[in-house]
Amino acid sequence: MFTSSLFAQYQKGFNCFIALLTTYKLEIIFMLKEAGQYDAKSLEQNIHKFWDEIDAYSKVREQRIKGPKFFFVDGPPYTTGRIHLGTAWNKIIKDSILRYRSMKGFNVLDRAGWDMHGLPIEVKVEGVLGFKSKKDIEKYGVENFVAKCKEFALSHRDEMTLQFQNLGVWLNWHDPYMTLRDEYIEAAWWTLKKAHEKKLLEKGLRVVNWCPRCETAIADSEVEYSEVSDPSVYIKFPVVGQENTFIVIWTTTPWTIPANIAVAVHPSFEYVKVRAVKNGKEEFLIVAQELLKNVLKQGRYQEHEILETILGEDLKIAYKAPLGHKVPKQNEFSHNVYLADFVTAENTGCVHIAPGHGIDDFELGMKHKLPIFCPVGPDGKYTEEAGQYKGMNVKEANKTIINDLTESGLMLASGKITHRYGNCWRCKTPIIYLATEQWFLRITDIKDKMLDEIKKVKWYPDWAGSARFADWVKGSRDWCISRQRYWGIPIPVWVCDFCGEVEVMGTMEELKSRSGVKELTDLHRPYVDNIHIKCSKCEQRMSRVPDVFDVWFDSAVASWATLNYPRDEKTIKEWWPADFITEGHDQTRGWFYSQMGASMVSFGKAPYKSVLMHGFTLDTEGKKMSKSLGNVVSPDEVINKLGAESLRLYVLSQNAPWDDLKFGWDEVGTVNRMLNILWNVYRFPLPYMILDNFNPVDVNEKLDSLPLRLEDKWILSRVQSLIKKVEVSMSEYNLHKATRPISEFILEDLSRWYIQLIRPRTWREANDPDKLAAYYTLYEVLVALTKVMAPFAPHISEEMYGNLVRNIHPDALQSVHMCNWQPAKEKFIDTELEKRMDIIREIVEASSNARQKLKRKLRWPVKRIVVSSKNEIVNEAVLSLESVLKEQTNAKKIVSLKTGETWDQLGVEVLPNHAALGPAFKKDAGKVIAELKTADGRAIKKSMLETGSFELKAGVITADMVTFKDLIPPAIASAVFSAGEVYVDTELTREIEAEGYSREVIRRIQDMRKELDLAVEEEIKATVEIKDDRVAVLVFEKKDFIAQEVRARSLEIGPEVEVEGDLVKDWDVEDVKMRIGIGR
RNA sequence: GGGCCCGUAGCUUAGCCAGGUGGAGCGCUCGGCUGAUAACCGAGAGGUCUUGCGUUCAAAUCGCAACGGGCCCA
């Protein structure tokens, strides 16, 4: 035992204690400790503190340094705001898988990552500084602005790190990769240089999504769609050479009409030329036949006449620019009709084409070498080229243009439409399409190779790659990587001011040596903006293009940037490509894609070997969680209410990882309850074990030498089977299938069954082998459980391990996470036994069902339980596990019938078959039926089975004339289970009544003990008055038994007892009045 | 409009790949237990398996279509 001074030393520190141990050569000083109620929050905090103190994470990683390598790349969360449930789920998945891998002996590399550049942060900082446009930033100074952005990113990283750590997530938080670091920037630069070398980098005019407020191109992924009201106008373009004839187009962006160059029609649609009359005035219109009705209705024409039908491909006409009088430049272009497959049978079937303002338009323009006319500037205002509209904001110009067209009589109809339109996801400004000069990666050139690489990657689930990702890549276009902003990785492209030669700087060193700049401490803007180099072709000055990278390009290089490549050329050879990544399905077009693209450019192969695609977190309704809907649940809220462990197991077990997760508090609560039960299971035996000086260091030998009961062997088998199940599920990253069986094991096998079975054994005071067998078995099971749970529930398993293992073994590993994954011990697995026990449990359930039918409480023993079976295994089960069955059903006797045998105590009711009896016996049928009612059913049934007939007084009946039904005696109830039926005989005997009433008395005294808050071992004096003489005598016979159960040093029972004590209560037991008093 | 995924009891879900009487948990109702006790256990009720068509002796399961939800794209 501990001496108090030793104990104090223990408190001071583990190491100190070890020292003492060695000095004094003490043994068996390590002991289990009792545990209080489950308090998730303080338990988790203590574990976090413990991990910090011993630097558990680093030790675990160091410990496996010789193991097979497992390279994991963390998809970097963007450092803005706080983490949400989806991010939490994401990191919990990562943590569980990496903990599992680590226990399996892998040398895991897992730097946490942070995505810290880009427009979202710029917009936030602009908000804080009250800026409205890029001019404000220029005025404030790019240097100051970038400093603010950096500060913002770093402070948010710190906040978010804490939140992830609160979830118990282990990644390398000490040395995360950050996109704002110079070595990271170099990885991006190096990649672009590679692209340039492979001729995959291209500068070109393209139509891009443009935010007129942010004055930059934005990625498709940065466009957020919402319902808005826009003009819906039908415009008549005057056809050249045909008097009073118009081709009719429809648009929601009248502001693009000044940039109109062409009209597109579908080659295989039928078009009509029609004479249409409105208010007596006639004109000729060209539209798709299918849509004629719509156009006539829109234009309120009263009558019409189809003059001609033309196939789209034959429609060769030219038209006059509708706004030529306002936009002089328009008159320099020729306007014609072209064919395009993207034309749909909607509105008019003729599509207005402005190659400067639409993606399809642009491509059609390129195909036919049309002018890419774009009279709109970066600020969303018309330029000089727009003639009279110059200086006008395009969105505001809609009205003016509609008026102008109406005035010139070209407006066929003008209305409003509500449709989805793209906005800048950060500042909510409606985007416009602009043809601008941008830098591109020619993804279209390497698409086929990418599709081949996708097939080499292992996708979980398979369709994430074969269907979803492949489909996205097939449809992908060249990647616009340039942004006209400030906070990002500067594009390392230098262009010769004189000859236009392009060069890409791959590293800081290269830039320094080419430019002669000695001091360069930061690779951001504005520090690299004014560095010039000498053109290697013409020796003139080269200047950097002012753009920064699309932020998706940052994370795209993560798999080598996290290995500090190209600065460190050695590490990448040992680790790359990544063994595993996992992100949500939104990242199909995001990180899965951007990484694949960048890696194809750099290395010509996929940067990852396997990908787990997970789902999204939705609210209870299945709707997206969003601030505007007010349905956001934060991980912090869940942790505060129910603990991180509950959240972890909830998100892991609720769904298949790839399905979306509908968050529900009730379900998290259920997980929490399960953990509470686990905790109770764990702490329940501790006081007994401690009292008995139980020391399980020799658990392995003891399990071999002690007389284990079948139930002990059963739970040992169950826990080993559980380990196997978890392994199989984890091999396919089926986290739900790994975690659900753990919960089931805890609830069903451990709590509801094994603990109930061994209870009486633990109360036994003698130190007998039977009790020890239960202790050792439970100990073994709990320790195995801590290891199998550790990847998923790292806190509670660490706590249990600390007590069960570290408090016992002086040389134990410090953390459960340092332990190796313990493969299933085959010698314990006995599937036959597991099957038998299943049957016993079914029988117990059925018998409790039967008891309920006759309202007989479990406290009252029953005379016997009879089991009828459909197959042999039931008999084997009942025979081998009879003691378990007897105890759990509280039966005096178990009778097992042979398979197929009916119980001889059952009566048989003979049901006459009138249809057969009538014709056979005619008017004597009545007599036969009357006789059957009182006849010996059993005899008739037996005879029918043996001879097929039976002789009654009234005549001989045959088998077809009767059917049989079992008759259950009144004191017997039955219930069926999957492989048979159970009969519970509740007939009362004197002994059963005595025991039943005694247990009623015991229960009430225990209840009163609790009310008085007595200690378990405290003795009492008890007096029991039972007015009913007969019951009083019955109970009196069990006086010693009762006294022992309630720890009474004196006990009086009788009809005339004077009841006294600290607490006196009246009870009504099954209509028998009792008055009980107890006192110290 | 397109691609992928999902749609089973009031709620959350298993079963679907390999077709043959739909299993759980929560909640609800009733009961039990009282040396895990601000715990625990049992029973019961509750399902047109989103809808329609098809394949088949047989469909929650396979096919087609529609409807609803999610992500992504246009």
- Write out pLDDT tens, residues A60-93: 999 999 999 999 999 999 987 788 888 899 999 9
Token readout for A833 is 């036994």
Is A314 exposed, middle or buried (CB count within 10 Å of its CB: 0-12, 13-18, 19+)?
exposed
- Nearest nucleotide relative to A748: CA against C1': B41
Q: What is the pLDDT of residue A690?
A: 85
Rounded to whole angstroms, the Cα distance separating A849 from A851 reads 5
Read off the pLDDT of each residue in A577-590 and give the average, rounded to a whole number: 89
Residue nearest to nucleotide B35 (CA to C1'): A1016
Residue nearest to nucleotide B70 (CA to C1'): A660
Q: Is A452 helix (H, G, I), strand (E, B) or coil?
A: helix
Rounded to whole angstroms, the Cα distance separating A220 from A224 reads 9
Q: What is the pLDDT of residue A1080?
A: 79
- Nearest nucleotide relative to A471: CA against C1': B3
Q: How far is the CA of A964 from the C1' of B48 (A)?
A: 36
Q: Is A98 helix (H, G, I), strand (E, B) or coil?
A: helix
Q: How confident is the model at residue A157 (pLDDT cuts 50, 70, 90)?
A: very high
Q: How far is the CA of A661 from the C1' of B49 (A)?
A: 21
- Inter-axis angle of helices A644-654 and A40-54, to 10 degrees? 100
- Which of A197-201, A220-224, A732-736, A888-892 has the least mean pLDDT? A220-224
Rounded to whole angstroms, the Cα distance separating A309 from A932 reads 92
Rounded to whole angstroms, the Cα distance separating A265 from A466 reads 35
- Nearest nucleotide relative to A466: CA against C1': B4
Helix (H) or strand (E) holding A840: helix A831-853
Read off the pLDDT of each residue in A1015-1040 and give the average, rounded to a whole number: 84
Buried b / exposed e along A475-495 (16+ C-beta atoms within 10 A):
ebebbbbbbbbbbbbbbbbbb
- Nearest nucleotide relative to A625: CA against C1': B70
Q: How far is the CA of A468 from the C1' of B3 (A)?
A: 7
Residue nearest to nucleotide B12 (CA to C1'): A667
Q: What is the pLDDT of residue A96?
A: 94
- Nearest nucleotide relative to A681: CA against C1': B36
Nucleotides of B under 7 A from a protein CB: 3-6, 11-14, 25-27, 31-37, 39-44, 69-74
> Could you list the active site residues of A?
76, 115, 552, 587, 591, 624, 627
Contact A789, A708 (CB under 8 A): no
Rounded to whole angstroms, the Cα distance separating A560 from A575 reads 9
CA angle A475, A481, A483 (to 5 degrees): 130
Q: Which of A129-133, A541-545, A741-745, A833-837 has the highest mean pLDDT?
A: A541-545
Residue nearest to nucleotide B25 (CA to C1'): A670
Q: Is A1048 helix (H, G, I), strand (E, B) or coil?
A: strand
- Which of A1-10, A683-692, A750-759 has the least mean pLDDT? A1-10
Read off the pLDDT of each residue in A895-910 and give the average, rounded to a whole number: 77
Read off the pLDDT of each residue in A489-496 and give the average, rounded to a whole number: 96
Q: How far is the CA of A666 from the C1' of B26 (A)?
A: 7
Please determine, for residue A27, whether its predicted confidence score (pLDDT) is greater than 70: no
Straight-line distance from the first to the last Cα atom of chain A, in angstroms, rounded to the nearest whole number: 31
Dihedrals phi, psi of A727, to nearest 5 degrees: -60, -45
Token readout for A216 is 């930059």
Q: What is the pLDDT of residue A19?
A: 44
Instruction: Write the pLDDT tens digit of every residue in A428-439.
Output: 788 889 888 889
- Nearest nucleotide relative to A464: CA against C1': B4
- Which of A211-215, A329-333, A810-814, A932-936 has the least mean pLDDT? A932-936
Strand partners, A206: A436
- Nearest nucleotide relative to A223: CA against C1': B73
Q: How confident is the model at residue A5 (pLDDT cuts 50, 70, 90)?
A: very low
Q: What is the pLDDT of residue A28?
A: 43
Rounded to whole angstroms, the Cα distance separating A562 from A580 reads 14
Half-sphere exposure for A537 (CA within 13 Å, toward CB): 11
Please determine, for residue A26, whether its predicted confidence score (pLDDT) is greater than 70: no
Residue A866 carries which side chain, given as an amino acid letter? V
Residue A424 carries which side chain, given as an amino acid letter? C
Q: How far is the CA of A977 from the C1' of B34 (A)?
A: 28
Instruction: Write the pLDDT tens digit of every residue in A379-425.
Output: 899 999 999 999 999 988 999 999 999 999 999 988 888 777 888 77
Pick the more confident residue, A767 or A547: A547
DSSP at A462 = H
Residue nearest to nucleotide B7 (CA to C1'): A622
Q: How far is the CA of A340 from the C1' of B38 (A)?
A: 73
Q: How confident is the model at residue A623 (pLDDT cuts 50, 70, 90)?
A: low
Q: How far is the CA of A120 from the C1' of B63 (A)?
A: 47
Neighbours of A54 (CB within 10 A): 14
Please determine, for residue A620, whether its predicted confidence score (pLDDT) is greater than 70: no
Please determine, for residue A10, whether its predicted confidence score (pLDDT) is greater than 50: no
Read off the pLDDT of each residue in A9-38 and give the average, rounded to a whole number: 54
Q: Is A821 helix (H, G, I), strand (E, B) or coil?
A: coil
Contact A434, A356 (CB under 8 A): yes
Q: What is the pLDDT of residue A25?
A: 44
- Nearest nucleotide relative to A475: CA against C1': B73
Q: Are strands A216-218 and A201-211 parallel, antiparallel or unpaired?
A: antiparallel
Q: How far is the CA of A471 from the C1' of B54 (A)?
A: 29
Please determine, for residue A957, whether its predicted confidence score (pLDDT) is greater than 60: yes
DSSP at A1018 = -
Rounded to whole angstroms, the Cα distance separating A702 from A716 reads 14
What DSSP string runs through A9-29?
HHHH-HHHHHHHHHHHT--S-
Rounded to whole angstroms, the Cα distance separating A996 from A863 reads 12
Which has the closest alpha carbon to A193: A499, A594, A502, A477?
A502
Q: How far is the CA of A727 from the C1' of B19 (A)?
A: 30
Q: What is the pLDDT of residue A20?
A: 45
Strand partners, A435: A207
Q: How far is the CA of A819 from the C1' of B41 (A)?
A: 35
Q: How far is the CA of A1025 from the C1' of B43 (A)?
A: 34
- Nearest nucleotide relative to A1016: CA against C1': B35
Q: How far is the CA of A660 from the C1' of B31 (A)?
A: 39
Average pLDDT of chain A, as a whole number: 86
Q: How far is the CA of A710 from the C1' of B18 (A)?
A: 37
Q: Is A666 helix (H, G, I), strand (E, B) or coil?
A: helix
Please determine, for residue A15, whether its predicted confidence score (pLDDT) is greater than 50: no
In Å, how far from its chain's centre is CA A793? 15
- Nearest nucleotide relative to A858: CA against C1': B32
- Which of A139-143, A714-718, A895-899 has the least mean pLDDT? A895-899
The residues, any chain, with a CB within 8 Å of residue A283's CB and separated by 6 or more, are A236, A244, A245, A246, A275, A276
Sign for the pseudo-dihedral over CA of A908, A914, A916, A921: positive
Pick the more confident residue, A919 or A481: A481
Token readout for A147 is 């400093």
Q: How far is the CA of A686 from the C1' of B32 (A)?
A: 27
Buried b / exposed e along A1029-1038 (16+ C-beta atoms within 10 A):
eebbebbbbb
Residue nearest to nucleotide B40 (CA to C1'): A752
Q: What is the pLDDT of residue A16?
A: 43
Q: Which of A606-610, A890-894, A956-960 has the highest mean pLDDT?
A: A606-610
- Nearest nucleotide relative to A655: CA against C1': B13
Token readout for A286 is 């060209």
Q: What is the pLDDT of residue A599?
A: 95
Instruction: Write the pLDDT tens digit of every residue in A855-875.
Output: 777 778 888 888 888 778 888
Pick the more confident residue, A290 or A789: A789
Instruction: Write the pLDDT tens digit of every residue in A244-269.
Output: 999 999 998 999 999 999 999 888 88
- Nearest nucleotide relative to A587: CA against C1': B72
Q: How confident is the model at residue A784 (pLDDT cuts 50, 70, 90)?
A: very high
Q: What is the pLDDT of residue A629?
A: 59
Q: At which residue do the structure tokens 């049978």 appear? A: A345
Please determine, for residue A764, whether its predicted confidence score (pLDDT) is greater than 80: no
Rounded to whole angstroms, the Cα distance separating A54 from A260 reads 70
Instruction: Write the pLDDT tens digit of every residue in A33-56.
Output: 888 788 888 899 999 999 999 999
Dihedral angle over CA of A830, A833, A834, A835, nearest 10: 120
Read off the pLDDT of each residue in A370-377 and give the average, rounded to a whole number: 91
Contact A338, A364 (CB under 8 A): yes
Q: How far is the CA of A102 from the C1' of B16 (A)?
A: 34
Half-sphere exposure for A383 (CA within 13 Å, toward CB): 11
Q: What is the pLDDT of residue A864?
A: 86
Please determine, for residue A488, whether its predicted confidence score (pLDDT) is greater than 80: yes
Q: How confident is the model at residue A24 (pLDDT cuts 50, 70, 90)?
A: very low
DSSP at A269 = S
